[in-house]
Amino acid sequence: MKKTTTSFYDILGISSATLCLVHCLIFPILTILPLGFIHNPIIDLLFASLGLFAILKIIKNSALLISAILVVSMSLIWISILSELFFEIHLDLIYYGGIGMITGHLINYKLHRKQNH
């Protein structure tokens, strides 16, 4: 049963981190085009909250290295989002955090698959 829930949270984390990273990379291009898009940090908060939920479930049963990667990555994401919300400063930390989240979830997913097969 733990294998299924851990896999679910890893897949949720991989999906949300990938969508967030794609959003962060593609959105600046869309704002250049005259389509009426504006940046809304609330969308970033939604992705970060979903990712935070997933990592809180995962770090309880993960190795220290994976937990550290996920916590540091999530911290980078939250620092970047909060600096944009409160100080209107865009930090590139969100990209590194997104890549770290995807990496941490993929490593955790592969380790759990290897252990359970």
Per-residue DSSP letter, 62? S
Other Cβ atoms closer than 10 A to 40:
10
Q: Which whole-number Å values give the CA distances from 48 to 13, 35, 58, 76, in the listed order?
A: 10, 26, 15, 10
Nearest to 20 by CA among 78, 98, 100: 98
Q: What is the pLDDT of residues 6-65, one digit of tens each?
A: 677 777 777 777 777 777 777 666 666 666 556 677 777 887 887 788 788 888 878 899
In sequence order, which residues have a C-beta less than 8 Å from that of residue 15 and are 6 or more positions away? none
Tell if the pTM clears 0.85, that is, is over it: no
